[in-house]
A and B are shown apart, each in its own frame.
Chain A
Amino acid sequence: MRLKKGCTLGSMKRPELGKYEKIINEGTMNVIFFASFIIIVAILITGISNYTIVRNELINKLQKQDLNYILKSISAQIDGRIDKAKETSLIIADSPETIKWFADGEVDYKYEEMFIQQIKSIAETLHYTVFFGNKRTGHYWTNSKLLTDTMVKDDPADRWFFDSIASGQKITLNIDRNNELNQTNLWINTLMGDSKKPTGVAGVGVDLQDISTEFSNYKIGNTSNLWLVDSRGKISIAEDAEQSGGKLSDYLPENVYDNIMKDISHKNDKPEILSYTDKSGQVDLAFQKLKSCDWVLVFQINRSETLGLLNSIMVSTLATIAAVLVLILIIFYLVSSKIANPYKRAVQFSVELEKEIEERTAEISEKNLKIMESINYAKTIQESILPSDDILQRVFNDYFVLWRPRDIVGGDFYWLKEVANGTILVVGDCTGHGVPGALMTMAVNSILSNIIIEEEAINPVFIIQELNRKLKAALNKENSAHSNSTDDGLDAAICYCDNKGKLYFAGARINLYMLRGEQVTRYVGYKCGIGYIKSDFTSDFIEEEIAVMRGDRFYITTDGYVDQNGGSHGYSFGKSQFKEIILRSSSLSMIKQGVFFQEELDHYRGQNSQRDDITVIGFEII
């Protein structure tokens, strides 16, 4: 026999999980995917809502605050400078000494000296270009080039002078742009003295180029533009020098441009904000007219620029998603593998068990097969000691035999011996069934042969007594030391049929039934079995002598038949019912009666299993 390895599961080689592996992995992956999906959806919802909120806030802030602020601060700055320049211009233009000197035709050389010193000092202190133009003489004085020119009405360069005087307005503004020097100057042309009869034009020139530098401080991103535009739509100052001197209409859609120009004419100096879409996308635009003049500040910014911050939010959201995803995958893999592990182990365990069971089952089947082979062979041996049909046919006029061991072999047997003047028939039921019962039958069989041959016995009572004695001896029953061990023996019925029509019967717990006509007679066997410790066949154990008549039928059954449970209550078949079926089938031939007995019992038994070995013999002697 192959010894089973006595080992714990731990020391066993882990079997391949095979088909289970896939299930486990699928389960784990499903958990991971599901969890990741939920978390990503959550992050996306948060991200999108954040994005939307921030986006709206940013646009709102840009339009309501930033653009307003930028425009207000720049316009205030420019207004401040222009106002200051205007004040300075008024002061110098309305100086009575200078007016008088101009009116006198600049003849006072002393004053000229003082005048020149004065304008030089103002120019130096306030960083202006100071100029004076005398209507009477046509002389043009500036702080850098004194008496530089004599203005002529036909010279386009001097046109501003005559225009100013002609306008009759105290102050006019004039911008001139010098692209070569990249200079933009604002000129405050102020009429000297009475505006209706001015002595000349004086004022200061302000270099606005530094304002364009200032503009770059307000620039947001790369695509914003800040322009200072005059009332004719010309860009006077731009952060980008190339745009200076250009037309605002070149940079804006027509309707937007018109909108701005219309607003300027209404003298509205509140910031206006509008949005439009051009080929570069959504654009926000704000403009405000200056207080000090008819110029307008225009600030234009692409929405994408404003929302540049959002890109970083978006990027960071996506980065978060990616990071969280990786983290989740790691965590969930760890967690779910921890969760899945007990399951995995359980599956592993069951696979191991299954394998072990398979092995054991194979082992058991193998053993079973061997045992079955062995028992089947035992059956052929047991059958070989039973009398053959030939002998039975020769001895009896008619007969049937039901021999049905509960298992393949059993404790029931029948035995037949032809002796000098007749035949001895023994029907026996040894204790136990199966192999132990069969072993007993073999022992009994050999003792019987021994008794009949050695003792030449034919007397059933004597045979039973001898059998009792010899069996006890064989099974050590005489030895009291063994009295507490098993107590085996047999029940038996013995018939001696002589050639003169007599049947002698003796039974040990087995009866003989005789059917004569419509009458069944029961010859009761002795109350004790053979070979048991307490078996004792005393003087009251006698045999029956029956004078057999033609057609008499005899039946012997072991308790397997009458004790079989069945019917509606599960009771035993019973001896009375046995007698009944003998009567009921009395008209049948012996062989058919045998079949009938079998069918009756099978029917009665129903679903119940056979309880004991069954032997029924029916025979007719004459």
Chain B
Amino acid sequence: MESLYIKESKSTPLVDFNAINDKLIIKGQSYPEDSFAFFKPLLEWLKEYLFGKVGQEVGIEITITYTNTSSSKCIMMILDLIESAYEKGVITRLKWICNEHNEYELECAEEFKEDYTFPFEIVLV
């Protein structure tokens, strides 16, 4: 499967889904006008990718410095996909990286973490 790479922009995060070394990275702020349009290809890619990863380990690294409401909905969809993959036997290892000086990042991470059961590690840097 081909990797997915989207360069960071002013209102969208860097997306680096590497299908070769199984490392998925989302990093930056997300507040596009049409969040769903931005996240749709990510969701489709993930769905297909995670489907073929049962029994294998997948490293996920997320850093969100800011997200608008609609983007956080989309991020939740991603986390939902991870949750269901985890339930199906994909060994997901999520590191949510937060800047300890940015109150927002930690609040955001904690809010997301509450809803999920898969391994969700908040790393303060």
Point out the residue from B66, B102, B107 that lies within 8 Å of A569, measured CB to CB: B102
B114 at the interface (CB under 8 A from A): yes
In the complex, number of A-B residue pairs with CB atoms less than 8 Å apart: 52
B70 at the interface (CB under 8 A from A): yes
User: Given A431-B70, A611-B31, A569–B104 Cβ distance below 8 Å?
Assistant: no
Let me know if B66 and A575 touch, CB within 8 A. Answer: no
Question: C-beta contact mask, A516-536 vs B, less than 8 Å → 1, else 0?
Answer: 000000000001010010100
Chain B nearest Cβ from A125, distance in angstroms: 124
B103 at the interface (CB under 8 A from A): yes
B111 at the interface (CB under 8 A from A): yes
> 8 Å CB contacts to B: which residues of A540-571?
559, 562-563, 565, 569-571
Point out the residue from B33, B76, B102 that lies within 8 Å of A571, measured CB to CB: B102
Task: Compute how far the CA of A562 lies from the CA of B73 in the bound complex, rounded to whole angstroms.
Answer: 19
Contacts of B103 in A (CB 8 A): 571-572, 574-577
A312 at the interface (CB under 8 A from B): no
A106 at the interface (CB under 8 A from B): no
Point out the residue from B36, B66, B101, B111 that lies within 8 Å of A611, measured CB to CB: B66
Task: Compute how far the CA of A563 lies from the CA of B68 in the bound complex, rounded to whole angstroms.
Answer: 9
Task: Compute how far the CA of A527 lies from the CA of B115 in the bound complex, rounded to whole angstroms.
Answer: 10
Contacts of B66 in A (CB 8 A): 563, 565, 572, 611
Contacts of A485 in B (CB 8 A): 36
B3 at the interface (CB under 8 A from A): no
B99 at the interface (CB under 8 A from A): yes
Chain B nearest Cβ from A609, distance in angstroms: 10
Question: C-beta contact mask, A567-587 vs B, less than 8 Å → 1, else 0?
Answer: 001111011110000000000
Chain B nearest Cβ from A565, distance in angstroms: 6
Point out the residue from B36, B70, B76, B104 that lies within 8 Å of A572, measured CB to CB: B104
B69 at the interface (CB under 8 A from A): yes
A168 at the interface (CB under 8 A from B): no
Q: Which of B99, B104, B114 has the most CB of A within 10 A?
A: B104
Point out the residue from A491, A570, A571 that lies within 8 Å of B69, measured CB to CB: A491
User: Given A486-B36, A527-B114, A611-B31, A571–B70 Cβ distance below 8 Å?
Assistant: no
Chain B nearest Cβ from A321, distance in angstroms: 65
Contacts of B69 in A (CB 8 A): 429, 431-432, 491, 529, 559
Task: Compute how far the CA of A577 lies from the CA of B29 in the bound complex, rounded to whole angstroms.
Answer: 21
Task: Compute how far the CA of A488 lies from the CA of B73 in the bound complex, rounded to whole angstroms.
Answer: 9
Q: Which of B31, B66, B69, B102 has the most CB of A within 10 A?
A: B69
Minimum CB distance partner of B31 in chain A = A611
Minimum CB distance partner of B71 in chain A = A431
Task: Compute how far the CA of A432 lies from the CA of B35 in the bound complex, rounded to whole angstroms.
Answer: 9
A612 at the interface (CB under 8 A from B): yes
Let me know if B73 and A532 touch, CB within 8 A. Answer: yes
Let me know if B68 and A612 touch, CB within 8 A. Answer: yes
A487 at the interface (CB under 8 A from B): yes
> 8 Å CB contacts to A: which residues of B92-123?
99, 101-104, 107, 111, 114
Chain A nearest Cβ from B4, distance in angstroms: 19
Minimum CB distance partner of A570 in chain B = B65
Task: Compute how far the CA of A563 lies from the CA of B108 in the bound complex, rounded to whole angstroms.
Answer: 11
Chain A nearest Cβ from B77, distance in angstroms: 8
Enumerate the 6 nearest inter-chain pairs by beta-carbon distance, A residue then B residue, closest first. Answer: A572-B104, A574-B103, A571-B102, A431-B69, A487-B73, A431-B70
Residues of B within 8 A of A (CB): 29, 31, 33, 36, 65-66, 68-70, 73, 76, 99, 101-104, 107, 111, 114
Q: What are 18 A-B interface contacts by the 8 Å CB criterion?
A: A429-B69, A431-B73, A485-B36, A486-B36, A486-B70, A487-B73, A527-B114, A529-B69, A562-B104, A563-B104, A565-B66, A569-B101, A571-B102, A571-B103, A574-B104, A575-B103, A576-B103, A611-B68
